[in-house]
Structure 1
Amino acid sequence: MNRRRTPRSASAEDLLSTLQHLTARARQEVELHQARVELAQALQRKMLPATLPSFPGLRTAARYAPARDGLDIGGDWYDGFLLPDGALGLAIGDVQGHDVEAAAFMGQIRIAMRAVASSAPDPGEVMRRTNDLIMSMDSTLFATCSFLRLDPATRELRSARAGHVACVWATADGRSGVTADAGGLPLGIEPRQDYPVTRRDLTVDGAFVLLTDGVVEGPSLTIDAGLDRVRRLVSDHCLADAEELADRVLQAAVLTGHEDDAAVLVLRHGAAAL
């Protein structure tokens, strides 16, 4: 005769033990994720400059927002530093990907560009030599970048571009535009590249904005349309101080629906910069 076995009922102690085990595992997962986020945030802070240089009548401001998915770290960067001859070096760029590897590669580019710029007064030469250094690293990653050299005395801007998104400018008299500078291939693609240099003046009571594609491109937004939207925003708020303008431009990145990093670097010259 077959006897049917009666299922053993879980005791209250068994249920409590299981619940405690699941709770402990969940807590460990949360703590591990938090540790990874904190490590990524600390690494990101070290990768970006703590402060940016400024001069009388000239202010700079920058913002960075991480990708919406993944760790709070990525390959977008900005930089600003004084050069030995008193000029100001400015850079913004975007490394392929948004993970720890991309952030480490970004750090290498930033350090290389600073080192090269200290001895090469021409932005095209800075970009060419940085590209050669990147190629010697034998990395599979690449980066777009813009490098500018500003003479505070004459307000002359000289710039070179390596496959990077255009800049936006506006003046207090209502003029505004998107730069259409010639450029070369992104850094890390081909050795011995040439990077044309563009010269312009930073207009008094004007704003010049460097950015990455996370600010102007989205799933249903082309780069050209995004740049035009930022151009109108900068024109409307041209007389705002550098910090406010940087905040407003970064907020525009939220409207693109883009999940990539976003970086903004603002140069503000004139009364509002004081």
Structure 2
Amino acid sequence: MPRKRSTDDGDELLARLGSLTAQARERAELQRTQVELAIALQRGMLPRDLPTAPGLHLAVRYAPACYGLNVGGDWYDAFPLPDGRIGLAIGDVQGHNIEAAAFMGQVRAGLRALAFATGEPGELLARTNDLLLSLGSELFATCTFIRLDPATGAMESARAGHIPFVWATADGKSGVVDDEGGPPLGIQRGIDYPVTRHRLTTGGLFVLLTDGVVEGPSLAVEDGLEQVTRLAGIAAVAGLESHALAAAVIKGAESVGHEDDAAVLVVGLDGPARP
């Protein structure tokens, strides 16, 4: 009898282990499917083509999160506006899952659609903010929007809770843009977003990025921005292509120890900017 009971106990243990293993496999498969779906959603919503203009160079890089479900929030966009200028946007949705990826698509689509009614960055962010609040979602998004005139290099920018972007000029100067900004989109109604004016000079660069590029467990955001500023300054002085700088910046994101998406948008001008 003891031998029989021991055998029964062993069979029951094996059965339980088999059941737990099957459940773990199902959860792993479900998680893998969700990750693939979130990445597919995000990649499908990012622009396939970037606008072109004489002397203007745009370059983008995007790296999805590599761990768990930490994917879905970051995006970038670049598109021509009705007046011939170019709209540039980069942002990050709170959360890292399929819901965040879907909300990111709503933000990007809404912002692009509203930009054809008003390309003025401050008003555009204010309208997008009201639109997101009307959707009733509990999510919010950070965003930077720039309106660029490629013929003159004149730029206007507004920022909604997003990290500031980096600039560099061909004469060796570089830094982080010092602007006021406003709160993230989708939190509070009736927000005004201040507009800052810049100029993209010949041989100059602007680098827009998400926090996954410059902030993480291994790197403070100030140090990350300093790292990108240094890279941008070297690239501008050396006359490196925008694509090379974008690749170097996204490569540097590996040092932050993050489990987040990372997106980079580089804007360069080598044409004769008119006063």
Query: Aligning the two structures, in what range does the TM-score lie when normalised by the shorter sequence?
Result: 0.7 to 0.9
State the match for 2:46 in structure 1.
48
CA distance in 2, matches of 1:156, 1:90: 13
State the match for 1:249 in structure 2.
249
Structure 2 unmatched runs, 5+: 9-17
2:158 partner SS? strand
Amino acid of the residue matched to residue 126 of structure 1? L
Contact 1:144 1:164 in 2 (8 A): yes
State the match for 1:85 in structure 2.
83
State the match for 2:260 in structure 1.
260
1:237 partner SS? helix
Q: Kindly report the root-mean-square deviation, in angstroms, between the aligned alpha carbons of the 2 structures.
A: 2.5
State the match for 1:171 in structure 2.
169
Amino acid of the residue matched to residue 46 of structure 1? G
CA distance in 1, matches of 2:161, 2:253: 20
Amino acid of the residue matched to residue 259 of structure 2? E
State the match for 1:230 in structure 2.
228
Amino acid of the residue matched to residue 184 of structure 1? G
Distance 1:26 1:201, change over 3 A: same
State the match for 1:65 in structure 2.
63
CA distance in 2, matches of 1:153, 1:4: 90
CA distance in 1, matches of 2:131, 2:51: 26
Q: Over alpha carbons, which structure has the higher Rg?
A: 1
Distance 1:84 1:258, change over 3 A: same
State the match for 1:135 in structure 2.
133
More helix per residue:
2
Q: Which residues of 2 match residues 97-116 of structure 1 at below 5 A?
A: 97-116=95-114
1:192 partner SS? coil
Cα distance, 1:40 vs. partner?
2.7
Contact 1:40 1:72 in 2 (8 A): no
CA distance in 2, matches of 1:230, 1:147: 19
Amino acid of the residue matched to residue 48 of structure 2? A
CA distance in 1, matches of 2:2, 2:108: 73
Distance 1:171 1:186, change over 3 A: same
Cα distance, 1:31 vs. partner?
5.8
Amino acid of the residue matched to residue 37 of structure 2? L
State the match for 2:118 in structure 1.
120
1:254 partner SS? helix
Distance 1:4 1:263, change over 3 A: closer
The partner residue of 1:206 within 204, 207, 222 is 204
What do the CA deviations read for 1:188-243 (whole angstroms, capped 9, x no partner)? Answer: 11101001111111010011100011111122422122111110011112221111
Cα distance, 1:47 vs. partner?
1.6
Aligned length: 263
Amino acid of the residue matched to residue 241 of structure 1? E
Cα distance, 1:34 vs. partner?
4.9
CA distance in 1, matches of 2:30, 2:94: 26
State the match for 1:13 in structure 2.
none
Identity %: 58
Distance 1:30 1:268, change over 3 A: same
The partner residue of 1:157 within 140, 143, 155 is 155
What do the CA deviations read for 1:29-73 (whole angstroms, capped 9, x no partner)? Answer: 776555444333321211211121121111111111122322473
What do the CA deviations read for 1:166-190 (whole angstroms, capped 9, x no partner)? Answer: 1101112111110011111110111
Amino acid of the residue matched to residue 78 of structure 2? G
What do the CA deviations read for 1:4-53 (whole angstroms, capped 9, x no partner)? Answer: 5457989xxxxxxxxx9999988877765554443333212112111211
State the match for 1:15 in structure 2.
none
Cα distance, 1:79 vs. partner?
0.4
CA distance in 1, matches of 2:222, 2:140: 23
